[in-house]
Amino acid sequence: MNSWLTRRAVIKAAIKAMGAGMCSGALTPAALPAALPGGMHAETVAGPKAAAGGYTGPHGPGMPQEGPDTPKLAAPLSGRGFTAEQMREIKQIGVNSVLMGGPPMPWRESQLQAIVDKLKTGGLALGNMMIGGFPNVLYGRPGRDREIEEFKASIQAAGKVGLPVVEYNFYAHRAVEGYYEQEGRGGAGLTAFNIDRVANLPPVPSEGVHSLEEMWSNISYFLKAVIPTAEQSNVRLALHPNDPPIAVSRGSGQIMASFEGWKRLISIVDSPANGITYECGVSREMEIDPLEVCRYFGERDRINHVHYRNPIVRVPHNDYTETFIDQGENNMLAVMRELIRVKYTRQIYPEHERALDYDRMVGIRNQYPGGGGYTGMVYDIAYSRAMFQAAIMLERGAEWQE
């Protein structure tokens, strides 16, 4: 008998059975045990347990899944609005935790609760929201105390809806003018940076020029005011490193453009609520060992969010390319293993996806030259999932032996 016809017949029969099972609720493949070693749970493929008379023999251990004691891979949705279809696109690739930009300050509990409730209808949880809109705080200008009060009100609203992490930036000016597109493998789009493109740009009048110590003074004033509110609200703040990590941008110093700066930040207020976004990509852009960075902040419980990407560096800080996640200088498996070792349990976001032809065909909305879309994100999520599962098995190996 033709083997292809045999396989096709089996597939058709399976599809027919699947349709019947979906109607009756009786389809229950038991490919994975309900509870995996280490307390983690495998998602069932099609609902409740097998009907009486089904297979009751032994099963394999399956692959490690996310649980309370593991990191969670995350994907972005737009805080300005998202659809049921967009939630399905996230859920279908095995992602249960999302991040997004927040509304203008001050955030209101009702605003955030509506977002949280809508995400629940798609089986998703909100793990991180970016906050912005406090220029007077950044530049130490009159009006910063009002912005601080709005920031505190926003943190309180986040706490009331169970949002665990609020991320923010602290730039006088972000040197985005230095980005340009490079062509990668097969014509894919990569994002490159070179300091020569920004070295002679003048200050922006609305921003002014601010010394490094002035910026440190401004963030110290800010953190001492807001961290007690974050602690009371059970919310962690995550400051993203300066990216690009050049020392000076349009005349102003950058406080988060060095490992020493990152260390100094968490010393201003000694609290888990005062943490960083651990960026293995920016670490490599500075040619600082990302494993050393992970250990330093992870052992102190100051990694409140993670960005997971992989550049190739020509000149530390000043000249590099954000390439495919599997192609840069970082050992991404080693990074993931270190996150498991330090018992990190919050989000890992494989950001800055590369531009692939399929995304170009359907349309890309990306702020970075050479940046991609959904297909590029799927590639990064899948790669990161493999790194996650391999890291769990290597770090907790005895639990996964059959």
Q: What is the DSSP string of 257-297?
A: SSHHHHHHHHHHS-STTEEEEEEHHHHHHTT--HHHHHHHH
| Residue 10 falls inside a structural domain | no
In this structure, the chain runs to a length of: 402
pLDDT at 79: 87
Domain annotation covers residue 279: yes
Q: How far apart are CA 67 and CA 297, in angstroms?
A: 22
Q: Which residues pair with 248 in a beta bridge?
A: 253
C-alpha span between 103 and 80 (Å, rounded): 8
Q: Copy the structure tokens of residue 75.
A: 């994907």
- The range of the structural domain enclosing residue 376 comes to 72-400
Contacting residues for 174 by C-beta, under 8 A, at least 6 apart? 242, 243, 244, 249
| Nearest C-alpha neighbor of 41 from the set 78, 13, 1, 69 | 69
CA-closest candidate to residue 351, choices 76, 2, 83, 27: 76
Q: Are 136 and 142 in contact (CB under 8 A)?
A: yes
Helix (H, G, I), strand (E, B) or coil at 113: helix
User: Are the beta carbons of 340 and 392 closer than 8 angstroms?
Assistant: yes
Alpha-helix runs per DSSP H in 96-201: 109-121, 135-139, 144-160
4 falls within a domain: no
What is the pLDDT, as a whole number, of residue 60?
A: 84
| Residue 338: predicted pLDDT | 98
Position 3 in a domain: no
CATH code: domain of residue 319 = 3.20.20.150
Region of 187 please: left (phi>0), alpha (psi -120 to 50) or beta: left
Among 128, 343, 147, 372, CA closest to 237: 128
pLDDT score recorded for residue 397: 77
Nearest Cα to Cα of residue 117 among 82, 75, 141: 82
Non-local (6+) Cβ contacts of 187 within 8 A are 357
Q: 109: which 2 tokens?
A: 């509990």
Supply the pLDDT for residue 365. Answer: 81
* Predicted pLDDT at 56: 86
Report residue 3: phi and psi, to 5°. -65, -35
Q: Is residue 148 part of a domain?
A: yes
Contact predicate 59/33, CB 8 Å: yes
- How far, in Å, CA of 178 to CA of 67, rounded? 40
**183 DSSP β-pair partners:** 189
| CA proximity to 376, closest of 389, 365, 386 | 365
Sequence-distant (6+) residues with CB within 8 A of 292 are none
Token pair 């389809």 is found at 27
* pLDDT value of residue 258: 97
Give how many domains the chain has, as a whole number. 1
Regions in the chain scoring below 50 on pLDDT: 1-48, 402
In contact, 321 and 345? CB cutoff 8 Å: no
The per-residue b/e assignment along 74-94, b for 16 or more CB within 10 angstroms, e otherwise, is bbbbebeebeeebbebbeeee
Give the residue among 160, 135, 161 at the shortest CA–CA distance from 146: 135
Contact 127, 97 (CB under 8 A): yes
32 domain residue, yes or no: no
In 38-108, the DSSP E strands lie at 72-76, 97-101
- pLDDT at 92 (0 to 100): 97
Contact partners, residue 343, CB within 8 Å, separation at least 6: 69, 298
